[in-house]
A and B are shown apart, each in its own frame.
Chain A
Amino acid sequence: MDIGTGIAILGPALAVGLAGAGAGVGIGLAGKGSLEAMARNPNMYSKIQTNMLIAAALAESVAIYGLVIAFILLGKI
């Protein structure tokens, strides 16, 4: 494995890693806001939970874009 292939493999790894970092922060913030809201107002539990799942899936989708790019790039090595 020469140096070119080694650096080429670094590309998909960075794609997934950095995208995953962003997704982790985003989902953590969504969870934080929703837990605070649930603690303040336990009546609205299911509504807040539904919206938290929507926000978490939207934040997670950016990490999934990174994963798809990683698969495409790995296929081209």
Chain B
Amino acid sequence: MQEHGLVIFHIPGIPDFITNTWVVMAIILFVAYKLSQNLDLFPKNKFLLAIESLYKFFKDLLNQTLGKEKAKKFLPYFFALFIFILCMNLWGLIPGAVQPTSNINTTLALAILSFILYHASGIKFQGIINYIKHFLSGPKWLIPLMLPVEIISHFARIISLSFRLFGNMFGDEMIVLILFTIFPLVLPLLGMLIVFGNSFLQAFIFVMLSIIYVALAVHHHHEEKEKEKEKENVPDIDLA
């Protein structure tokens, strides 16, 4: 579905958003390769400094929500996901480029990826029987009601993640389009400012929600066991 007027990266048989995704990936890989040459302890390149502080932000966030050993395993995925979604969102600001995330296919693919990630990590860290027991939590007579509700809410997570990103990005494009018809040269700049701010926010929200889902899938049983162990360790006080 070729909607945009002037598209720079265009291959005749392939939809525009796919070729623009490849271009964004190529640019990210190229910039990452260039920045990773001659690494110092105190980087002189300010862009590299900004990216390193972003990395530290995600590292601290993951340490808080997941705990240190698991955070190390998940950090590359979440940081790469954030940079990828951010660059895809910002790509639409360039004239002649198609924003890949303003298409439901891209965001649905990313949401399905996060869905598979948190289920797989829950099964890996807890074992499959414990993980299925985590769906069956609660009083026993309520389980036939809660199980379909839980399953539907898990599938609703895919839809909510993908539609949140898609709706925000597509809606912001529509805002810029509509502002073009009102006041052609000045108001679309305001629309583009909205796109700029919203791209950061939506990328962060997507990654934050994925982290929370992984934390929910992985944390459940361990917390209960740790709380039981702490209760046993508290000594009784003699108030004689």
Assuming the A-B contacts A64-B171, A67-B171, are A57 and B202 also in contact, with contact meaning beta carbons closer than 8 angstroms in the complex? yes
Q: Which of chain A's residues have a CB closer than 8 A to the CB of B208?
A: 54
Interface size on B, as a range, is: 10 to 19
The 8 A CB mask of A51-72 against B (1 = contact, 0 = none) is 0011001100100110110010
For residue B167, CB closer than 8 A to chain A, the reply is yes
Within the complex, the shortest CB–CB distance from B211 to chain A, in Å, comes to 11
For residue B164, CB closer than 8 A to chain A, the reply is yes
Partner of B167, one of A53, A54, A58, A67: A67
Q: What total of A-B pairs shows CB separation below 8 Å? A: 33
Chain B 183-240 residues near chain A, CB threshold 8 A: 201-202, 204-205, 208-209
Within the complex, the shortest CB–CB distance from B137 to chain A, in Å, comes to 23
Within the complex, the shortest CB–CB distance from B175 to chain A, in Å, comes to 10
The CA of A58 and the CA of B202, in the complex, are separated in Å by 10
Query: Are A61 and B167 interface neighbours, CB within 8 A?
Result: yes
Partner of B166, one of A53, A57, A58, A68: A68
Q: Which of chain A's residues have a CB closer than 8 A to the CB of B168?
A: 61, 64
Within the complex, the shortest CB–CB distance from A50 to chain B, in Å, comes to 9
* Chain B residues at the A interface, C-beta cutoff of 8 Å: 160, 163-164, 166-168, 170-171, 174, 201-202, 204-205, 208-209
